[in-house]
Amino acid sequence: MLMRAMPSSTDVKTGGIALHSLQKRYGAAMAVDDVSLSVSPGEFISLLGPSGSGKTTTLMMIAGFEMPDSGRVLLDDKDITRLPPHRRELGVIFQNYALFPHMTVAENVAYPLRMRRVPKAQLEARVNRVLDQVHLGAFAARRPHQLSGGQQQRVAIARALVFDPPVLLLDEPLGALDKKLRQHLRNEIKTLHRDVGKTMIYVTHDQEEALAMSDRVAVMHEGRIRQVSAPQDIYRRPADLFVASFVGEVNLIPAKLRSGVAHGPADETLAAPAWSDGDMDATLCVRPEHLHLGTGEAAAPGIQGHVTGMTFVGDATIVEFRSNSGLQLTSKVLNISAGAMLGVGDNCTASWATNDATILTE
């Protein structure tokens, strides 16, 4: 389902959001702890984190439903921290959409315009236009409960877009849906972003969603932002152990960095990128698809061990590996050819390319 370009009323880029050291405390618990973030106009940014990480609280502070204990929220350099939600002119798409059950689709979409006292003729024209844009023109007279999950999402989008806010806030809109539909709607939202060019702040606990849709991802944990980067960098260059293990699968290998060389648990030499901080103990992060298991003399230097299990998952095979020093590692091998692979019990060496490892010290 494609959404054609929605004309934006402004040519000047608006919709920049800046958060300055937001803090929010619930009783003794710090829900949001010193969160600062700058979102440029037109950017798609995700707040990613497990439940209780403060991502929804942060979004609700932007929307105006939660007051920060300290810190400021700026919209295009205007301080909106204390502005009540209905005067912020931000579009919000809620979890489960929060469509009004006692109104038709058209009445739902007209709601923000009614609240702004838009004249009737203009109101109808705008509602019809936006409903056509989300391909729901034929459903205008229906009630929300008569629509499918995907159609409900499009009503929610239409309702949030009809008053042309510069920013859309999305609170886990795909949370309650099944996997197939989720992937489909993910693409719709992404297309929408490309077409309308509005700033979007998207809260999710689904890392795949965040990586697939965003220009940048902000990973949150225990009320703090741990890393803000492009999806590729979040995955390939995690800033800390939490980000490394929360986003994707990862092998964590304890390493001793001594005079320019990384040493493994059994003192074997490990491939690692250059570092500058002198000798230290660290952890090497290697993604399973970067971990190679080789046999014989040709194998690159790495960790000696044997295969303990193999799981076929369709496109790939997950190989469980146990080093002689007792370290459990995982390798993901794409099933490109049906050729003979390793078997359980085979001795082999685990290795990786220098640039595929990340050094984390924590």
Partner 1 sequence: MAYTISSTEIQKTTRALQPARPTPWAWLMLPGSIFLAVLFVVPLGWLLLLSFGAPDWTIAHFVRIAQNPAYIGVLRTTLQISCVVTALTFVLSYPIAYALTTGGTKLRTFLLIAVVLPFFTSVLARTFAWVVLLGRNGVINEILLQLGWVSQPVALLYNRIGVIAGMTHVVMPLMILPMLTVMSSIDQRLLRAARANGASPLAAFLTVFLPLSLPGLIAGILLVFINCLGFYITPALLGGVSDVTITMEISAQVVGQLNWNFGAALSTVLLVAVMAVLWLGSRFFPIEQLLGFSDDKIGLDKTARRQMGTQWLMRIGSAANALDRWLPSMGGRGIPIFASFLAVLLLLPVVIVAYLSFSASSYFVFPVPGYSLQNYERYFSDPLWLRATVTSIRIALMATTMATMLGAMLAFGLSRGRIRGRGAMIALVLSPIIMPTVVVAVATYFVLVQVGLQGTEFGLALGHAVHAIPYVVVIVVANLRDLNPTYERAARSLGAGPLATFRTIIAPLVMPALIVAAFLAFLISFDDVVYVLFLGIGRIATLPMRMWEGITQDINPTIAAVATLQMVFATIVIFVNTLLGRRKAQS
For partner 1, the closer of residues 15 and 305 by Cβ is 15
Closest CA to 115 of 101, 132, 103: 103
64, 223, 238, 264: which one binds partner 1 (CB under 8 A) = 64
User: Scanning the structure block, which residue is given the tokens 């698809």?
Assistant: 289
Distance CA 180, CA 183 (A): 5
Closest CA to 47 of 165, 157, 172: 172
Is residue 253 within 8 Å of residue 312, measured between CB atoms? no
Contacts of partner 1 in 163-202 (CB under 8 A): 163
- Site for partner 1 contains 4 (CB under 8 A): no
- Site for partner 1 contains 112 (CB under 8 A): yes
Contacts of partner 1 in 128-147 (CB under 8 A): 143, 145
Closest CA to 142 of 132, 152, 150, 134: 152
- Site for partner 1 contains 242 (CB under 8 A): no
The tokens for 171 are 């609170």
Q: From the CB of 156, what's the least distance to partner 1, in Å?
A: 9
Tell me the helices (H) and strands (E) count for the chain, helix number first: 8, 20
Q: From the CB of 114, what's the least distance to partner 1, in Å?
A: 5
Q: From the CB of 344, what's the least distance to partner 1, in Å?
A: 39
- Site for partner 1 contains 203 (CB under 8 A): no
235 Cβ neighbours under 8 A, 6+ residues apart:
211, 247, 248, 287
Three-state secondary structure string covering 19-88: EEEEEEEECCEEEEEEEEEEECCCCEEEEECCCCCCHHHHHHHHHCCCCCCEEEEEECCEECCCCCHHHC
Quick one: 137 exposed, middle or buried, by C-beta within 10 A (0-12, 13-18, 19+)? middle
Residues present in the chain in total: 362
- Site for partner 1 contains 124 (CB under 8 A): no
CA atoms within 13 A on the CB side of 271: 17
Is residue 139 within 8 Å of residue 102, measured between CB atoms? no
Q: From the CB of 111, what's the least distance to partner 1, in Å?
A: 5
- Site for partner 1 contains 102 (CB under 8 A): yes
1, 29, 86, 300: which one binds partner 1 (CB under 8 A) = 86
| φ, ψ at 137 (rounded to 5°) | -55, -35
User: Scanning the structure block, which residue is given the tokens 């002198």?
Assistant: 278
For partner 1, the closer of residues 98 and 181 by Cβ is 98
111, 181, 236, 341: which one binds partner 1 (CB under 8 A) = 111
Pairing of strands 357-360, 280-286: antiparallel
Q: From the CB of 77, what's the least distance to partner 1, in Å?
A: 22
14, 96, 128, 317: which one binds partner 1 (CB under 8 A) = 96
For partner 1, the closer of residues 5 and 141 by Cβ is 141
- Site for partner 1 contains 26 (CB under 8 A): no
3, 75, 90, 192: which one binds partner 1 (CB under 8 A) = 90
7, 28, 77, 101: which one binds partner 1 (CB under 8 A) = 101
Q: Looking at 107-115, 212-220, 277-285, 343-351, which segment touches partner 1 (CB under 8 A)?
A: 107-115
Q: From the CB of 112, what's the least distance to partner 1, in Å?
A: 4
Kindly list the residues in this chain that would bind partner 1 in the complex (CB under 8 A): 63-65, 84-87, 89-92, 94-96, 98-102, 107, 111-112, 114-117, 143, 145, 159-160, 163
